[in-house]
Structures are given as structure tokens and as C-alpha cells.
Chain A
Amino acid sequence: DAGVIQSPRHEVTEMGQEVTLRCKPISGHDYLFWYRQTMMRGLELLIYFNNNVPIDDSGMPEDRFSAKMPNASFSTLKIQPSEPRDSAVYFCASRGTGSGNTIYFGEGSWLTVV
């Protein structure tokens, strides 16, 4: 299996620009998670989906952030407009109900907003 695939791996953008991060979960997994990692706040759960439906988005910092999962093999996390404080590593992860609850992470998208 190819694992969780994220793109882009690195992005540098100017403040005010729209940023779209993409994720392809492991085939057959029915849970998808978006996490953000910063030095100050550690690893935070932003939102998670079950069977393509958003279940808990209480971690989404503000209205500038939105996430979608149009089908079982694709999800996006969008920031519009981006701000320097959004600079972080954004991880996507997935888990299957029958896989012993083990969660698998992608390699992350390193975002820098200047």
C-alpha cells in the first residue's frame, strides 16, 4: 500500500493568498484526520471525517479554514486568506475501522506564510 499521500510537501506563500492542501488516505480506510503541528501548540486535531462526513471540526481555528472530503479517496484543507500564524506542518492521517484502530500519518505539508 502506498500509505497516506499528501501534497504539496512544501509550500511558501504570501499573506492573503489561498492555500489548498491535499490528501489521499489509505484505500479502505473510513476515517480521515487533519492535524496541525507547531512548536507552540504541538499536534492539534483540526477536523476528522468518517465515511466522508465531517464529524468534529471543533479544532478548526477560524472561518478562514475549511475542509472537504468529496469522496473516500480525497480530502482538501483550504486556508483563505492565509496569515503568517498559519505557518505549520499540516498532517493528514487515516484509519480503518477494522485495522485495530491504528492511525497512519502522511509525511506532512510544510506551510510557510510570509
Chain B
Amino acid sequence: KQEVTQIPAALSVPEGENLVLNCSFTDSAIYNLQWFRQDPGKGLTSLLLIQSSQREQTSGRLNASLDKSSGRSTLYIAASQPGDSATYLCAVRRGQAGTALIFGKGTTLSVSS
């Protein structure tokens, strides 16, 4: 059974710092991996999607890497801003057709000004 773990559970940093969020998964046979942002009481915003054949994806200040063989992914946030404060969720998808995402518990990030 696939399990997704995210470390740390919570993180507080001052504005401007670069930071790394970690995600690990137990079954390396994944189809893709997605990073989401969730604001309190709200739905999910997809940040980056990495296919199993890819090593990384970048969008603005965000960079996500994937090492499928070791079951790890990282989300790098450059020059953090207070608006980045949210919970970041990592999720893996096992197959293509009709398979759901399996989520980690998330890392709650707080960026102070």
C-alpha cells in the first residue's frame, strides 16, 4: 500500500529565505507526482506536476524534483514571501486511467514579514 510522508510537518521562516519541503513515498511505481497548495478551509491549487520519467519541474519561484528510485521528491521555494504561507501537499498517482492521488499530510508553512 502506497504511503506518502512529508517532512517537516510545520515550518516557520522569515521572508526572503529559500526553503525545501520533503516528500517520500514507499512504492516507487508511480505514474506522476503532484505538489499542491491548500489555504485554510479551501480547496487545492495545483503547483507542479512531475511525470515519472521527469526529474524536475519549475514554475516561477518553485522547483520540484523527483527521484523515483529512492521514492523522494522535494519542493524548493525561492525567496519566500508571506503570501506563500499555506499547507503544501505532495501526492502520488499510481496509474494513468482511473487512479486517484494518494496524499501526504502536508507541510504547513508560515512566512513572517
Decide if A and B are genuine partners.
no
